[in-house]
């Protein structure tokens, strides 16, 4: 059996307060092995603590497995998936939280928010996730999470202006050009 560091042991066995104490004392939070073992054990609080401290969610072990592929608990899997999306988002130009807002997936959106996604992140056009929101539940979730309701995109449109335009544009595209 491999030698475990104190951080790895705490991530496996808890309590989460010990994980935080070790991290504050300078324990290596990028030790992906600790994240992988905590994920395998379904230790949600330890996984969250390791991620917040900067553990590399994209790291692979010598067999090419990540913490996500080793995760056994659905809550841990959701947290790791959301974190991987945020990491991928930072590497590219798309925003995972905007994509979740577009699809109307409140569950995916909540997971991203829980993982630390910026509810006011902007895309290449300056649009926030709120401007992409496709359902009332998504709008409420973003507002509750602190989305800036008055933000404007590069064309100076707010989320409310986008919301008002959307039904009109869809109607026009379908040939419904009558006015009342």
Instruction: Supply the DSSP symbol for 152.
Output: B
What pLDDT is recorded for position 23?
Answer: 78
Radius of gyration of the chain (CA): 20
CA–CA distance, 162 with 164 (Å, rounded to integer): 5
Q: Which tens digit of pLDDT belongs to each residue from 43-68? A: 999 998 888 877 888 777 767 788 88
Burial class from Cβ neighbours inside 10 Å (0-12, 13-18, 19+) for residue 76 reads buried
Q: Which tens digit of pLDDT belongs to each residue from 134-149? A: 788 888 999 999 999 9
CB 164 within 8 A of CB 130: no
Mean pLDDT, the chain, integer: 78
Instruction: Please report the domains of the chain, with CATH numbers, ordered by start residue.
Output: 1-92 (1.25.40.20), 93-180 (1.25.40.20)
Q: Which tens digit of pLDDT belongs to each residue from 66-108? A: 888 889 899 999 999 888 777 766 654 456 788 888 888 788 8
Residue 3, both tokens: 């030698």
CA–CA distance, 50 with 174 (Å, rounded to integer): 50
């Amino acid at each position: 059996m491999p030698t475990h560091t104190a951080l790895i042991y705490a991530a496996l066995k808890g309590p989460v307060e010990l994980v935080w104490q070790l991290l504050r004392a300078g324990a290596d939070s990028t030790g992906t092995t600790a994240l992988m073992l905590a994920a395998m054990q379904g230790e949600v609080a330890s996984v969250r603590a390791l991620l917040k401290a900067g553990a590399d969610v994209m790291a692979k072990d010598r067999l090419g497995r990540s913490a996500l592929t080793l995760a056994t608990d659905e809550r841990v899997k959701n947290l790791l998936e959301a974190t991987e999306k945020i990491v991928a988002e930072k590497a590219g130009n798309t925003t995972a939280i905007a994509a979740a807002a577009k699809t109307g997936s409140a569950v995916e959106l909540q997971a991203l928010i829980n993982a630390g996604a910026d509810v006011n992140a902007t895309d290449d056009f300056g649009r926030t996730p709120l401007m992409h929101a496709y359902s009332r539940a998504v709008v409420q979730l973003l507002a509750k999470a602190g989305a800036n309701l008055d933000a404007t995109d590069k064309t100076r449109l707010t989320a409310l202006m986008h919301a008002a335009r959307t039904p009109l544009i869809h109607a026009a595209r379908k040939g419904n050009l009558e006015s009342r």
